C-alpha cells in the first residue's frame, strides 16, 4: 500500500505536467490514399488504437522484471527473478482515474513513466521515505487536490444536464441574439497615413499633425455617409476612404454575410436593430469610423444553434455553481504576510505535491 501511495505522488506530477501543457494543434495531414482504412490517414494513432482494442482485458501489457509484485519483509529472501505484471484492464482502469480517453500516442509514454514510478516508489519505501511528517503532509495536499478535482468534475457533469426545454426557452428569450443579417460596411481609418519626414518633428508638431489628420478623416467619414444614404456603391466609397487615408494596402471587401449580434464589437452591435435597407450613423472607435447598411435578415433556426445554446447554458450553470461555492466560504489572508490582494486567477489548481510542474519521473535509460 505504501508503494502505491508514493506512486500517486509521482504520478500527480506527471498528470500536472500534462494539464499545464496543452497538446499542440494537430498538423495538417495529407489526403488519404486509395486502400487506406477510414480514419487512418488523418490520424496515424487510429490504427494503433484499433490494434490495442484486440488485446484481451486479462492480457499482460506491462511487465517490470526485477520488481516484486509483493516484496517480502526480508529483503534477502526476495526472488531475483521476480516481476510485476499489469494487465490491459488494470492499466486502462488507471488511465480512467488519471486522464480518461488519453490519446494512444501518450499511453506508451505514460506506461513507461508509471513503470519507473513503481520502481522508484519501491526504492523509496526501502529507504523509509514513505514515513514521517513530510510524506504525510504531501499526501494530505494530494488528497485535497484530488477531491477538489473530483468535485469540479461532478459540478461539470451537473452543469451539463441541460434539457431540450431549457434550450428552447433560452432561444425564445434571446431571439435577437440568433438573428443573422447580410451587411455592407465602409471602414474609414481614423487618421491619414503620415508621409515620411526627413527631419525629426517635435512632440507638439506630431500631436498637431495627428489631430489635423483625424479631423480630415472624420469629415471624410461624414461625407461618405451622406453619399451612402444617397445610394452610392459601398465598394466605391470604401476605395475612396482608403485613398483619402493614403493607405497603400488594398481596400477591404464591404460584404459581411451571415453576421450575428455576437459577431460584432459591442459599439457596433446596435446595427442589428436596424431594418433591411437602413444605413447606420457613423460609428467611431479607436481604429476608425464605420458605416453599415443592412441587407436581408433572418432568424437562425433552433436546430442550427441547439448545441451552441447547450454549451452556453452549461457554462452559465457551471459559473453559478462555482460562485455559490466561493460565496459559501471566503478566506481572509494576512496582508502583512501575503502582501496586497492581486487580481484573481481563475482555475488555478493546488501546487503539485512533488515540488513543481517540471519535476517528472525520469525517462528510462537506454537498454
Question: How many residues does this entry show for the chain?
Answer: 367
Q: What is the pLDDT of residues 36-94, one digit of tens each?
A: 444 444 555 555 567 888 899 999 999 999 898 776 666 655 677 889 999 999 999 99
Indicate if the pLDDT at residue 158 is higher than 50.
Answer: yes
57 vs 360, higher pLDDT: 57
**Contact criterion met (CB below 8 Å) for 63 and 85:** yes
Residue 365 banded pLDDT, cuts 50, 70, 90: very low
Query: Could you tell me the pTM of the whole model?
Result: 0.62
**Secondary structure (DSSP) of 293-322:** EEEEEEEPPHHHHHHHHHHHHHHHHHHHHH
d(CA 255, CA 186): 9
Q: What is the pLDDT of residues 283-317, one digit of tens each?
A: 999 999 999 999 999 999 999 999 999 999 999 99
CATH class of 172-194+204-301: alpha beta
Indicate if the pLDDT at residue 251 is higher than 70.
Answer: yes
> In 3-state terms, what secondary structure has residue 221?
helix
Residue 105 banded pLDDT, cuts 50, 70, 90: confident
Rg (CA), the chain: 31
> The sheet that has 255-259: what strands, in order across it?
255-259, 179-189, 288-299, 283-284
**Could you tell me which residues are beta bridge partners of residue 180?**
298
Helix (H) or strand (E) holding 60: strand 60-65
49 vs 204, higher pLDDT: 204
Indicate if the pLDDT at residue 116 is higher than 50.
Answer: yes
Segment 214-241 mean pLDDT: 96
Side-chain-side CA neighbours of residue 73 (13 Å): 0
The CATH 3.10.50.40 portion of the chain extends over 172-194+204-301
Indicate if the pLDDT at residue 354 is higher than 50.
Answer: no
d(CA 34, CA 298): 43
d(CA 189, CA 281): 16
> In 3-state terms, what secondary structure has residue 237?
helix
Specify the pairing of strand 179-189 against strand 288-299. antiparallel
Amino acid at each position: 500500500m505504501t508503494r502505491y501511495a508514493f506512486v500517486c505522488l509521482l504520478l500527480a506530477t506527471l498528470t500536472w505536467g500534462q494539464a499545464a501543457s496543452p497538446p499542440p494543434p494537430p498538423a495538417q495531414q495529407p489526403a488519404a490514399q486509395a486502400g487506406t482504412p477510414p480514419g487512418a490517414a488523418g490520424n496515424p494513432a487510429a490504427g494503433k488504437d484499433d490494434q490495442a482494442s484486440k488485446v484481451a482485458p486479462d492480457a499482460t501489457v506491462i511487465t517490470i522484471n526485477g520488481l516484486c509484485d509483493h516484496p517480502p519483509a526480508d529483503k534477502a529472501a526476495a526472488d531475483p527473478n521476480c516481476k510485476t505484471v499489469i494487465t490491459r484492464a488494470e492499466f486502462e482502469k488507471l488511465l480512467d482515474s488519471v486522464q480518461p480517453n488519453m490519446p494512444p500516442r501518450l499511453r506508451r509514454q505514460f506506461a513507461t513513466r508509471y513503470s519507473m514510478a513503481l520502481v522508484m516508489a519501491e526504492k523509496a519505501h526501502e529507504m523509509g521515505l514513505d514515513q514521517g511528517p513530510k510524506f504525510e503532509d504531501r499526501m494530505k495536499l494530494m488528497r485535497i487536490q484530488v477531491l477538489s478535482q473530483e468535485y469540479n468534475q461532478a459540478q461539470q457533469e451537473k452543469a451539463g444536464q441541460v434539457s431540450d426545454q431549457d434550450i428552447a426557452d433560452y432561444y425564445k428569450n434571446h431571439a435577437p441574439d440568433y438573428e443573422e443579417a447580410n451587411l455592407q460596411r465602409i471602414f474609414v481609418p481614423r487618421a491619414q497615413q503620415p508621409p515620411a519626414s526627413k527631419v525629426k518633428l517635435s512632440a507638439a508638431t506630431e500631436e498637431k499633425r495627428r489631430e489635423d489628420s483625424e479631423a480630415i478623416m472624420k469629415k471624410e467619414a461624414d461625407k461618405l455617409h451622406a453619399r451612402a444614404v444617397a445610394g452610392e456603391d459601398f465598394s466605391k466609397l470604401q476605395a475612396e476612404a482608403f485613398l483619402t487615408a493614403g493607405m497603400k494596402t488594398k481596400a477591404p471587401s464591404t460584404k459581411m454575410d451571415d453576421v450575428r449580434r455576437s459577431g460584432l464589437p459591442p459599439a457596433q452591435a446596435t446595427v442589428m436593430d436596424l431594418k433591411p435597407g437602413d444605413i447606420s450613423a457613423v460609428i467611431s472607435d479607436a481604429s476608425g469610423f464605420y458605416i453599415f447598411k443592412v441587407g436581408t435578415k433572418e432568424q437562425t433556426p433552433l436546430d442550427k444553434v441547439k448545441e451552441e445554446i447547450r454549451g452556453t447554458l452549461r457554462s452559465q450553470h457551471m459559473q453559478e455553481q462555482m460562485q455559490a461555492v466561493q460565496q459559501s466560504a471566503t478566506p481572509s489572508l494576512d496582508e502583512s504576510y501575503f502582501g496586497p490582494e492581486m487580481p484573481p486567477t481563475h482555475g488555478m489548481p493546488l501546487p503539485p505535491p512533488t515540488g513543481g510542474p517540471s519535476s517528472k519521473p525520469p525517462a528510462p535509460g537506454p537498454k
